[in-house]
């Protein structure tokens, strides 16, 4: 298969982790005889610095013209600490999601058996956790009308949803559940919010088309509690934009590091793949960022194009790295490897799984050579 892939590595640790994802994809292309062409574009704070715009038109065009987008991270402290900044890096990401019509953000959360003792949560609580979060990504409070009164003392953000916006992601969530453990949990705040009551009504109607899937409901405050009390009860979680943002960061502690969580954002015509961690500015250039979320995002890209064997080859290599403790300091305080070395190991393992033990030795002395 030939795929043109836009690479928007963005800010902070974005470029270094994205480079590892590209290495993994190059190894896949080599082994499975595909052709992946990578085309870089500017986004985020670095794009503001260079062009004044967090999403230059050229970048948007690149994303529209390619088959998929591989995204790194955006954000920089100089903007976080300045609420009155006229342009913000995040606007680039939000505009990209909206313009590409990426209405469904899929965030898998898994407790890897080899990492169970690294999670701050107890083994018996997280064992067996395997969740797929379906977060609505182009509506709700993120995109509703924003107002600030003339005197600057009153502000509001509108949370608006239409039936159509709810239906299209709900169908994706139910279809996903049909191939999993056949349960969808709608997370909302229907005891308070009108928009949540519309979600319940529409999702309940759609559930009747998927009679093999069970639908249940949780208020978001309770869901936040259940996520750390009993996460293995969840299969597919379906939720609106802001609740999904919050719940997915919370869920990331289950796996032991936010540096493991990948995501796919899909719409009717475009798709984008990104680690859910942010730009982690303090770590930039130090080689301590975990590249696994970015690498697993590349696996989600392959899955999206139905390259299942290829995606599994990446996942197997990641599991091997975790098993052998070939990991960055977030997971390996005593004998950590750098971002690049973890990426080297994973790419090497994809190319040549039998040779992994030799590579393991080499990795530690910095002699990994393949690619």
**Which residues would be at the binding site for Mg ion (CB under 5 A)?**
245
Site for ligand IPM in 7-46 (CB under 6 A): none
Task: Kindly name the residue from 65, 157, 221, 355 that is annotated as catalytic.
Answer: 221
**Residue choice 245, 330, 344, 348 for contact with ligand IPM (CB under 6 A):** 245
| CB 246, min distance to ligand IPM, A | 9
Which run of H or E residues covers position 264?
strand 262-266
Cα angle 188, 193, 196; round to 5? 40
CB 113, CB 129: distance < 8 Å: no
Distance CA 145, CA 166 (A): 19
| CB 75, min distance to ligand IPM, A | 6
Q: What residues does 6 pair with on adjacent strands?
A: 39, 69
CB 309, CB 282: distance < 8 Å: no
Is residue 142 annotated as a catalytic residue, yes or no? Answer: yes
Is residue 221 annotated as a catalytic residue, yes or no? Answer: yes
Complex with ligand IPM: residue 217 or 280, whichever CB lies closer: 280
Task: Kindly name the residue from 4, 80, 130, 249 that is annotated as catalytic.
Answer: 249
Site for ligand IPM in 62-81 (CB under 6 A): 75
CB 318, CB 22: distance < 8 Å: no
User: Which residues, 6 or more positions from 256, have their beta carbon under 8 angstroms from its beta carbon?
Assistant: 112, 115, 116, 118, 119, 331
Q: Measure the CA dihedral 195/201/203/208, to 10°.
A: 180
Q: How many CA atoms lie within 13 A of 371 on its CB side?
A: 25
| CB 214, min distance to ligand IPM, A | 28
The answer to whether residue 93 forms part of the interface with ligand IPM (CB under 6 A) is: yes
Complex with ligand IPM: residue 29 or 242, whichever CB lies closer: 242
Complex with ligand IPM: residue 245 or 330, whichever CB lies closer: 245
**Contact code string over 259-298 relative to ligand IPM, x by CB under 6 A:** -----------------x----------------------
Query: Which 8-state DSSP code applies to residue 179?
Result: T
Token representation of residue 4: 């043109």
The answer to whether residue 159 forms part of the interface with ligand IPM (CB under 6 A) is: no
Angle between helix axes 356-365 and 339-351 (nearest 10 degrees) is: 160
Is residue 189 annotated as a catalytic residue, yes or no? Answer: yes
Complex with ligand IPM: residue 105 or 356, whichever CB lies closer: 105
**Residue choice 4, 26, 40, 90 for contact with ligand IPM (CB under 6 A):** 90
Complex with Mg ion: residue 5 or 73, whichever CB lies closer: 73
CB 39, CB 72: distance < 8 Å: no
User: Contact residues for ligand IPM (CB under 6 A)?
Assistant: 75, 90, 93, 245, 276
Active site residues: 142, 189, 221, 245, 249
């Amino acid at each position: 298969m030939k795929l043109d892939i836009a690479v928007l590595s963005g800010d902070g640790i974005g470029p270094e982790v994205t480079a590892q994802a590209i290495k993994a994809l190059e190894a896949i292309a080599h082994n499975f005889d595909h052709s992946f062409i990578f085309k870089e574009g500017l986004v985020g704070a670095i794009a503001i610095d260079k062009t004044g715009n967090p999403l230059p038109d050229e970048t948007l065009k690149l994303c529209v013209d390619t088959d998929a987008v591989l995204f790194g991270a955006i954000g920089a402290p100089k903007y976080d600490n300045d609420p009155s900044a006229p342009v913000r890096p995040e606007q680039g990401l939000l505009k990209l999601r909206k313009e590409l019509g990426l209405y469904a953000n899929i965030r898998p959360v898994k407790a890897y058996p080899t990492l169970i003792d690294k999670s701050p949560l107890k083994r018996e609580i997280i064992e067996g956790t395997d969740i797929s979060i379906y977060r609505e990504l182009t509506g709700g409070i993120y995109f509703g009308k924003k107002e600030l009164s003339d005197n600057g003392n009153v502000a509001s953000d509108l949370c608006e949803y239409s039936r159509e916006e709810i239906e299209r992601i709900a169908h994706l969530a139910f279809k996903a559940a049909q191939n999993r453990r056949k349960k969808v949990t709608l997370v909302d705040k229907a005891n308070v919010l009108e928009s949540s009551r519309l979600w319940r009504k529409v999702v309940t109607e759609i559930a009747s088309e998927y009679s093999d899937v069970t639908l249940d409901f949780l208020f978001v405050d309770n869901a936040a509690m259940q996520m750390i009390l009993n996460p293995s009860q969840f299969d597919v979680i379906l939720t609106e934009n802001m609740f999904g943002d919050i719940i997915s960061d919370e869920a990331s502690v289950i796996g032991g590091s936010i540096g493991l969580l990948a995501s796919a954002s899909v719409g009717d015509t475009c798709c984008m793949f990104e680690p859910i961690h942010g730009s982690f500015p303090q770590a930039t250039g130090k080689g301590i960022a975990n590249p696994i979320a970015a690498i697993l995002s590349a696996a989600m890209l392959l899955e999206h194009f139905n390259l299942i064997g290829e995606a599994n080859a990446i996942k197997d290599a990641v599991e091997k790295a975790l098993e052998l403790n070939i990991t960055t300091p977030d997971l390996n305080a005593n004998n950590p490897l750098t971002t690049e070395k973890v990426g080297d190991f994973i790419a090497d393992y994809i190319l040549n799984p039998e040779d992994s033990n030799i590579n393991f030795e080499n990795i530690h002395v910095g002699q990994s050579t393949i690619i």
